[in-house]
Structure 1
Amino acid sequence: MDVTVEVVNEATHEVSVDETATYADLLAAIDYSPQAVSVLVDGSPVPEDQPVGAKSVRVVRLIKGG
């Protein structure tokens, strides 16, 4: 499955994952840690261990360096 991953205020990535992939796997594919971001599907957060079921997600960084 191809998934569009929008990292809010940063970049958009196109990621291909298999049917067993979780949202943590999706984050790993774009080099983000589940501890540093929140994944949103239709505006609601999803658990990192949940299987990917959406074709488009938004990622919000919780920690930003400064």
Structure 2
Amino acid sequence: MTTVTVSVAGEDDREVELEEIAGGAPPETPTYADLLSAVELSPHEATVLVEGRPVPEDRPVEAERVTVLRLIKGG
């Protein structure tokens, strides 16, 4: 299994199994939007950074560690 460490700014790190969020049979590859969903966030409220740079939400997950910045919090 492929595990991605998701570090949500200001929160604890979470481990996400890509196979669990793939949503279908291979070759279905999870996207960064799927990764956000796995940590209960949407692309409208957060962005994913890989090595400090934002990545498109529809891009397949290729990194083993990502940082998530919440753009909107609270209400």
TM-score between the two structures when normalised by the length of structure 1: 0.93
Gaps of 5+ in 1: none
Identical-residue share of aligned pairs (%) = 58
Q: For 1:38 and 1:25, locate their aligned partners in 2 and report how far apart those are by CA, in whole Å.
A: 12
Q: For 1:6 and 1:17, locate their aligned partners in 2 and report how far apart those are by CA, in whole Å.
A: 15
Give the ranges of 4+ consecutive aligned residues of structure 1 lying more than 3 Å apart after TM superposition.
none
The more displaced of 25-34 and 51-60 is: 25-34
The residue number in structure 2 matching 1:51 is 60
The residue number in structure 1 matching 2:32 is 23
The count of residues paired between Structure 1 and Structure 2 equals: 66
| Higher percent of residues as helix | 2
Q: CA deviation at 1:64?
A: 1.5
Q: Which one scores higher on RCO, CA 8 angstroms, separation ≥ 6?
A: 1
For residues 11-61 of structure 1, the C-alpha deviation after alignment (integer angstroms, 9 at most, x for no partner) is: 210000036010011111111111000100000000000000000000000
Pairwise CA RMSD: 1.2
Larger radius of gyration: 2
TM-score between the two structures when normalised by the length of structure 2: 0.82
Q: CA deviation at 1:10?
A: 1.2
The residue number in structure 1 matching 2:41 is 32
Q: Partner of 1:4: helix, strand, or coil? A: strand
| Higher percent of residues as strand | 1
Gaps of 5+ in 2: 20-27
